[in-house]
Amino acid sequence: MLIGELATRAGTSARALRYYESHGLLRPMRSASGYRVYDEEELRVVHEIRALLAVGFDLDDIRPFVACLRAGNTSADVCPDSLLVLRRKLAEVDSYIERLCSVRQQLQSQIFQAAATRPCSAAAGGVSESTTSDIPSRSTGEGRQNLDTSQRGD
């Protein structure tokens, strides 16, 4: 298939495919007239690239997954190098979560402290228990669904 068909079938652009190729992730064949020609394996590789990009991997992180597919594996995450990248990414995500929880705790503490020290806070429209009750609890996850959907732009 030519680059336009691959782009359509993969749900991306020809420009993105050329970009992946320039980073060594795609390997098109060339027709006699010089056109890029892709087989079904390249479609599978593009799907893998796009799925990994969508969850925050960069192109260098994706290389082991592509190599794993090219080695004939049915899944890109079964090879040792792929697992290493997955473990590293999980540790990175865990670190982000820890930092965000710390920031959240600081903000919540500031809100409660401000509400407690502000004179007539409830009557003056300040932060009261009823306005802080909609802050999602870290331990229960309550309210997170609303937070998540507002960030997606739903």
pLDDT tens digits along 117-130: 877 645 555 555 54
Q: Is the dihedral of CA 42, 45, 46, 47 positive or negative?
A: positive
What per-residue confidence (pLDDT) applies to 125?
Answer: 53
The answer to whether residue 54 sits within a structural domain is: yes
pLDDT per residue as tens digits for the range 59-102: 999 999 999 999 999 999 999 999 999 999 999 999 999 999 99
The answer to whether residue 151 sits within a structural domain is: no
User: The tokens 């098109």 sit on which residue?
Assistant: 28
DSSP H helical ranges for 11-139: 14-22, 40-54, 59-70, 80-117, 129-132
Structural domain of residue 107, as residue ranges? 79-134
The answer to whether residue 115 sits within a structural domain is: yes
The answer to whether residue 145 sits within a structural domain is: no
The answer to whether residue 52 sits within a structural domain is: yes
The answer to whether residue 23 sits within a structural domain is: yes
Asked whether the predicted pLDDT for residue 149 surpasses 80, the reply is no
What per-residue confidence (pLDDT) applies to 4?
Answer: 96
Q: List all residues 6 or more positions away from 61 whose beta carbon is below 8 Å from its beta carbon.
A: 52, 85, 89
Average pLDDT of the segment spanning 53-64: 96
Average pLDDT, the chain: 85
> Looking at the structure, do residues 94 and 130 belong to the same domain, yes or no?
yes
Tally of domains in the chain = 2
The answer to whether residue 63 sits within a structural domain is: no
CA distance 84 to 50: 19
Average pLDDT of the segment spanning 41-55: 96
Asked whether the beta carbons of 26 and 46 are under 8 A apart, the reply is: yes
Report the b/e string of 98-113 with b at 16+ CB within 10 A.
Answer: eeeeeeeeeeeeeeee
The answer to whether residue 114 sits within a structural domain is: yes
> Looking at the structure, do residues 91 and 130 belong to the same domain, yes or no?
yes
